[in-house]
Amino acid sequence: MKHLRYFSAVAVTGLILALFVVSAVVAGGPQGKSTICHSAGGHKWVQITVSNNAVPAHMRHGDTMPDEYGDCL
């Protein structure tokens, strides 16, 4: 009986930890945000940080992701 309580405590703790990890990955990281290059008109770009849920909408109207160095062109 003692082993069953120990196993249950470990299993519940592991399950809670796994849920936190999965939710962080699904959210795109701990904060669930991405930095993108937002078109400021003409050939000007401004880096902004938005929710990962908003990234597709920004991409549809011409915003881009920063290059491999983190810069906007």
* Extents of the domains making up the chain: 1-30, 32-73
Over 70: is that where the pLDDT of 64 sits?
yes
Candidates 48, 39, 44, 37; CA nearest to 72 is 37
DSSP secondary-structure letter at 29?
S
pLDDT tens readout for residues 26-52: 445 547 999 999 998 888 999 999 999
Measuring CA to CA, how many Å separate 2 from each of 6, 11, 12, 68?
6, 14, 16, 54
Contact 66, 37 (CB under 8 A): yes
How far is residue 73's CA from residue 61's CA, in Å, rounded to a whole number? 16
